[in-house]
Amino acid sequence: MPTSPGDQQPDGRPDGAEPGPRAERDPWAAPPPGSEPVERVPYPVATPWGAPHPRNGMGVSALVLGITGVLLSLFIVLFWLAWLPALLALIFGGIGLSQARKGLATNRGMALTGVILGVAGLLIAAASAVFTAVIVDKAVDHVRAKVEESKASDESSKKAEAAAEKARHLAFGEAYTFTNGLKVTVGKPGPFTPDEFANGHAKDNKAIEVTVTVVNTGAERVRVETGLPDVSDADGATAELVIDGSGRQKVIDGYVLPGRKAVGTYAFSLPPKAAGKAEVAFSPDALKLPDAYWSGALG
């Protein structure tokens, strides 16, 4: 049977019936007896507009520059480039630490590491500069010593060459020993009378006879490669070799045995105005040995 209207609640529910899911309820009313309390979630607090962001750029820059400065300072050829990033790392790291103390930055460790690396880079760069300066100074001293040694050697060599050159200039009748063991003596030239078939002697010229003696002072036989001397007159002009049919000229050629000697005789024609002095140049091996010179006045 339907319930009477008197038995219903004001909201249209029967007396004692539970409210339906769609029933309207006063949100400020106390919960009905026996029901669980409703948990109220607090509203989130909104972040105020315009909050400042951490200023970590100086710390990051200090760390990067510090690493760069240390790496550059480790290379001898690049240490002079390390001071700038190391110094900037020190400056930026100091600024980063100041901002961290004021609460404007959150990377205090980066800034501190950048400062440490900047100081280390400057110290290593300075040490590398000192080391390079010492090495360069030693290298310069070494080069200077080598130059001085070379100069001394050159002077000694020049003196030795001058002494050797002087030793190769002799007077007629003196002996000179070449490095191959041949001792050569050129006697004072005497007069020579060419025959009527002579070649190389002009009329009114003065003909002289040059005698060259070669003695082997060594222990092995030595070949005389060029046994023909060169004769110059008092004016320095080359005298002409005289060849005739008398058979008095003899050219030194072939080997000279140890302890033996070979004698060569040659005739030359000098002009009358330059016949007062002569110079004879001779070498037993013109391709390997320098000439020796004999000179003097002619009778």
Instruction: Evaluate if residue 50 carries a pLDDT over 70.
Output: no
pLDDT at 1: 44
pLDDT at 52: 67
pLDDT at 196: 84
CATH class held by domain 169-297? mainly beta
106-123, pLDDT tens digit by residue? 999 999 999 999 999 999
The burial class, CB within 10 Å (0-12 / 13-18 / 19+), for 52 is: exposed
pLDDT at 270: 94
pLDDT at 27: 56
For the whole prediction, is pTM greater than 0.85? no
Instruction: Evaluate if residue 297 carries a pLDDT over 90.
Output: yes
Residues counted in the chain: 299
> Given the DSSP bridges, would you call strands 169-171 and 292-297 parallel, antiparallel or unpaired?
parallel
Do 63 and 120 meet the contact criterion of CB atoms below 8 Å apart? no
CA distance 149 to 155: 10
Task: Pull the structure tokens for residue 225.
Answer: 């490669």
| Of residues 23 and 244, more confidently modeled | 244
Task: Pull the structure tokens for residue 232.
Answer: 């110059």
CA distance 168 to 184: 11
CA distance 8 to 55: 70
> Given the DSSP bridges, would you call strands 261-270 and 240-241 parallel, antiparallel or unpaired?
antiparallel
> Given the DSSP bridges, would you call strands 175-177 and 182-186 parallel, antiparallel or unpaired?
antiparallel
CB-based contacts of 94: which residues, under 8 Å, 6+ apart? 111, 115
CB-based contacts of 205: which residues, under 8 Å, 6+ apart? 269, 270, 271, 272, 275
| Of residues 109 and 197, more confidently modeled | 109
Average pLDDT over residues 197-219: 93
Q: Where in the chain is the domain with CATH 2.60.40.1240?
A: 169-297
Do 110 and 96 meet the contact criterion of CB atoms below 8 Å apart? yes
